[in-house]
Amino acid sequence: MDNRQIGIQGEDLAAAYLEQQGYRILARQYRFERAEVDLVCFEPAPRPEEGGEIVFVEVKTRRGLGFGRPEEAVTPEKQRHLIRAAQAYLYEHHLQRARCRFDVIAIVLQDQDPPEIRHFKDAFWAT
């Protein structure tokens, strides 16, 4: 399995995980110029009158830990690209005033073991 296939498998696992948690997937692989966000989701608030949040999710998937934990690959430069794509998404959908955050989902696939999925909410902030 090549890196692209591993990435797609990771995004599929992350989307299914988030949907099980009550999130709604709004977009996959949203692109703006050279920046991309893997998943754009909506997480409803526990009480409907509180609304919810737009969640921009970066998914990092690895086959093993030989190159470190997947979440370590979300560098400051990668964060800047995610923020740029998120700003474009919010502008394009007239959601500039919406509450939003950036999450990272790290997935490790190892042989026959079930995938290890770790969800980092508020992984970083837009500055």
List the chain pLDDT tens, one digit each, 127 residues.
Answer: 778 888 899 999 999 999 999 999 999 999 999 999 999 999 998 887 888 999 999 999 999 888 899 999 999 999 999 999 999 999 999 999 999 999 999 999 987 889 999 999 999 987 6
pLDDT for the residue numbered 64 = 85
Nearest-CA neighbor of 61 among 86, 39, 33, 84? 39
The CATH code belonging to domain 3-124 is 3.40.1350.10
Q: Sheet holding 100-108: strands in order across? A: 24-32, 35-44, 52-62, 100-108, 116-124
DSSP state of 93: T
Interatomic CA distance for residues 27 and 85, integer angstroms: 12
- In this structure, are residues 72 and 121 in contact, taking their beta carbons and an 8 Å threshold? no
Where does the chain show beta strands of DSSP type E?
Answer: 24-32, 35-44, 52-62, 100-108, 116-124
pLDDT for the residue numbered 5 = 86
What is the domain partition of the chain in residue ranges? 3-124
pLDDT for the residue numbered 50 = 83
Interatomic CA distance for residues 10 and 24, integer angstroms: 17
Instruction: Give pTM, 2 decimals.
Output: 0.93
Provide the token pair at 35. 């920046």
